[in-house]
Amino acid sequence: MNAKQKKAQAIMDLLDRLYPKTPIPLIHKSPFTLLVAVLLSGQSTDQSVNKITPALFALADTPQKMMRLSPARVEKIIKTVGLAPTKSKNIVLLSQMIVEKFDGVLPQTFAELESLPGVGHKTAAVVISQAFGHPAFPVDTHIHRLAHRWKLSNGKNVRQTERDLKKTFPQEKWNKLHLQMIFFGRQYCPARGHDEKTCPICSLL
């Protein structure tokens, strides 16, 4: 086992002790509602998204129901999250596309998910890993930051960091590990006010 593999194993062991269970932080009840929640979480916190999605999903929790709403109706419900006007249009359009192009069933491949309006690679990766259980390693700004701090990647963007992390950690760990890293980043390794001496992982590296 080389130095990088030892470091990766130490990180996995610590995260498993701290976060043995990894509940998905976004309220949802199906792959479709998870997709909508993840899309809404861009430029917003999970907490702010969780405040609005119960009302939205009470009104429309399937693509068939969502496509019948006007973007203005959706925007009225989600207006407190960032980029609400654009997200409202995309949610209605992607619902229509799921019904018309995919027979009302949310697709399970990166290419098909990323063809939906407003769905980028990270959003698709979250749905693939958390809704369908396929191996993926969604990398957001939190994980991108941690990978740099822990010297696991020097990637200039999240796609490069994703490739580096996939090479570093075993595939069967990816789905759980990405959530563990998000939880850890929020609790111990924030962007601001971070103290390397007290951080359980940074202090060891």
Q: What is the CATH number of the domain that holds 153?
A: 1.10.1670.10
CB neighbours of residue 154 within 10 Å: 10
For residue 165, the enclosing domain spans 3-23+136-204
Q: Which amino acid is at 112?
A: E
Token pair 């069933």 is at which residue?
105
Task: Please measure the distance between the N-terminal and C-terminal CA atoms of the chain and give it in whole angstroms.
Answer: 17
Residue of 61, 76, 89, 140 with catalytic role: 140
Which of the listed residues 105, 131, 157 is the one where a domain comes to its end? 131
pLDDT of residue 2: 83
Which of 76-85, 96-105, 124-133, 188-197 bottoms out in mean pLDDT, i.e. has the lowest?
188-197
pLDDT tens digit sequence for 49-71 = 999 999 999 999 999 999 999 99
pLDDT of residue 1: 75
CA distance 193 to 189: 9
140 labelled catalytic: yes
Which of 2-6, 139-143, 178-182, 196-200 bottoms out in mean pLDDT, i.e. has the lowest?
2-6
Residue of 7, 87, 122, 176 with catalytic role: 122
> What is the mean pLDDT of the segment spanning 196-203?
93
* Widest Cα–Cα separation across the chain: 56
122 labelled catalytic: yes
Are residues 190 and 118 part of one domain? no
C-beta of residue 137 within 8 angstroms of C-beta of residue 174? yes
